[in-house]
Amino acid sequence: MADDRSIEDVLDTIGDQHARTVLAAISRQPRSAKELAEECDLSLPTIYRRLELLQDHDLIIEQTAVAEDGNHYNVYECNFDSTVIQLEDDEYKVRIYRRENLPDRFTQLWDDLGAE
């Protein structure tokens, strides 16, 4: 991983059943915390704790939506396409493939090819 989050923290986060349930729900389409609580059959406090944990590891994006009546609320969406966990030389490596635009993906691919 390229950032300063520990591999153990990321593994603990994606190892949490409730966090995985939330990620699965928002991978299909962005949802509000209330929608997540209903769909995942979890309490709002549990949903908010998992959302905070997932945000801490940059695994989700929070955006503001506007309801038909003009009220604002937050919706959450998954911020990555896939995760690869690899055991190499008695050490875990975690690679998170984030959703990026095409030029960023090309740049990352080019950088990865040059690093090998």
**Domains of the chain, CATH where assigned:** 7-115 (1.10.10.10)
pLDDT at residue 89 in the model: 86
pTM: 0.72
Segment 4-63, tens digit of pLDDT: 457 788 888 888 999 999 999 999 899 999 999 999 999 999 999 999 999 998 899 999
**pLDDT of residue 1 exceeding 50:** no
* Mean pLDDT on 78-106: 76
Place of tokens 């396409």: 81
Helical spans, DSSP H, in the chain = 7-15, 17-28, 33-40, 44-56, 102-115
Q: Which two tokens stand for residue 16?
A: 């949490």
Instruction: Return the number of other C-beta atoms located less than 10 Å from residue 99's C-beta.
Output: 12
* Mean pLDDT on 92-108: 69
